[in-house]
Structure 1
Amino acid sequence: MRLWSIQLLIFSDRINHMKMENIYFFIVICFTSLLFASSQDPKITSSLGEIVGKIKYITLGLSNHTVHEYLGIPFAKPPVGDRRFRKPEPLSSLTSPFYAQSSGAICPQIATLVTLNDTQSEDCLYLNVYVPDQRADKPSGHAVMVWVYGGGFQEGAGSHYDFSILSVTGNIIVVTINYRVGVFGFLSTGDDNALGNYGLWDQHLALKWVNDYIKDFGGDNQRVTLAGESSGAMSVGLHALAPVNRGLFQRIIAQSGSMTAPFLNMERGGFENVLTVADSLGCKTDTVDQLMHCLREKSVDDYINALKRLDPGRVIFGPKVDGDFVKINPRDIAKLSESRRLDEVECFRLLDMLSGFNAYEGASVLQYVMDPATIENM
């Protein structure tokens, strides 16, 4: 019996040893795989630090393509706390290495476009860069397109667009950006307490980021096209007229949107909307300065809940003539330029422009201008 017991113990020990060898082998394989995978991740080095992206494989017909994606790169300090309702502040560095492998949060909004995968946060000023893994068409690098999403200045996100296919088929670098929308992007008191147009300044800072750093990704900052659709197209038009953007892009594409659209009331005003939101948030104060201090202390959830209680068609925030970014209402520029030289017109003349609309797209707004019963009988 004793001999049999010893043999069992020896056999058991061999089995355990084999199990441990298998475990070690499994660990080594996994670790090696991780090292190999991480070594394959695309990396770029810039003055911001090392940025690590990820590879995406695309099959088009019989051809296989590779895109390097750098997702969720912050281009500004989080516009939170005292930075809320102010121009964005640039970032001078990133944690190195910075792993840009997933999109950042989208900006707070009450929207129909929000998906289950979206995380909303005021810390939302991120951009995504799609780089084709192929030789550029010119020694200076790939041409670049910066995309501005639409959504009536009330909703949207850069991460809602996947430009990997356009990147490889057009052999261009595509950059999608986030910018603040709705109350956080455009609340304006009409004075220095809150000039508004923060969403437009976000877009401007993203353009400066592209101008400063896109060469590190293999892009040519002298061949930048700014493109957008709907309110994104309106934004593109406003940027084309803003002298502060001179040299940041050379071409524009405006799809289905005009800065002279009837609903885009850009004249100074709208303070009644600020008071309405402030009242809903319990921010009744004696001075505008105190009011803004109170509004900066409220949480994002406070705003979302307050806006849901209000009539969405009654309280809308959008671009304004602020005397800073937008100095002249675009509707008046043509008439004013007849009698005097305008910097806005001179800037616009330096650019190539492509603008257009889709056939029958006006049908999408019939529900707002016609009786529903009439539409059903059409």
Structure 2
Amino acid sequence: MAVPTEIVWERDPHTEAKHTLLRRYMSAWFPIMAKQFRGDGITFFDGFAGPGEYTNAQESSPVIAMEQALRSDVTRYGTQTRLVFVENHRGRFEHLDNLLDARFPPTIRPPGLVMRVHFDECVDCFERVIAEVGGWDGPVFANLDGWGVDADYRVVQRIAQQRSSEVLVTFKDQFFIRFPDGDQKAGERVFGHSHWRNVDQLHTAEKKPFLLDLYRQGLRSAGFEYVLTFEMLDEGGHSLHLFFGTTNKVAVERFKDGLWKVDGVSGQRFRDPRDPNQLSFDIRDPDFTPLESRILELLGERDHNLEELREDALLETIYKKSHVKPAADRLIDRRKVIQVSTGPSYADRVLRLAEPQLFC
């Protein structure tokens, strides 16, 4: 959708899906981190907070964060929980500030909960406003959901340097369509370097995958050991790209658990944007063909045990670890793969690419 000019606008299906994923992940993040970091405290930072509601929905990322932070399984630990929201539109800032005070008045906030709303540009104020609430003493989860080229690499890089911190960055598809045509200053802000300009030498079909992979590499270079990326498509074919950066492998599993809930996510379809040949699929009716192809590709290089294939699926695909064994079993049934050793653990089960057969 186009960048809105009004204070409050209609929530589109992409945003609804994003909120569903964020709520699911935050429902795990807040209690786990509150228990683990009682002495340091935890911080949720929203760099592009918006007005806090929509014309057709009362849910928003700030509201989701506040609701999750106030749950009894979070507050019982007495951990200082800091929520910092930044918005650069005066009208939306005022709307958000008033809305949060009305829906979550100080009387219902526990002593350890600190909430701040700031009118400023994210990149100009993020270090200061997080420092003001003591946020750099503990882990930070940063939600960077801007309108195109708003997620400055300096923000991502600083968050990555913070112990046990994570980032969720959103790009709309128009960014990868318009951006290569030339906003060079925007490119430097997003990627933190000028290497992205090599996109000019590529064919049109190669530009988007190149930029996606470059940004994924950038998150890893910043310090996020694990980077999950996927593309959501609505019924009109409009797409949205999400990048989740973390230093914790378990966090990747938790995030994927939210994605793969059996009820699906707001009618969205998903695919791995790094594979231009992959068709999108509904979580409620998934297509495991790309996973099977990935397994065959890896086994074409060498033998792998099942645990190695599970790790690869977790970290390098849109699929979960639990999807690998059924996929491998199907390949064995079709005589494309053979099992050369077995045992009680996944690491004991070694698979090998089957020799081609003339007759089956």
**TM norm. shorter chain > 0.5:** no
Relative to its length, the structure with more helix (as a share) is 2
TM-score, normalised relative to structure 2:
0.31
TM-score, normalised relative to structure 1:
0.30
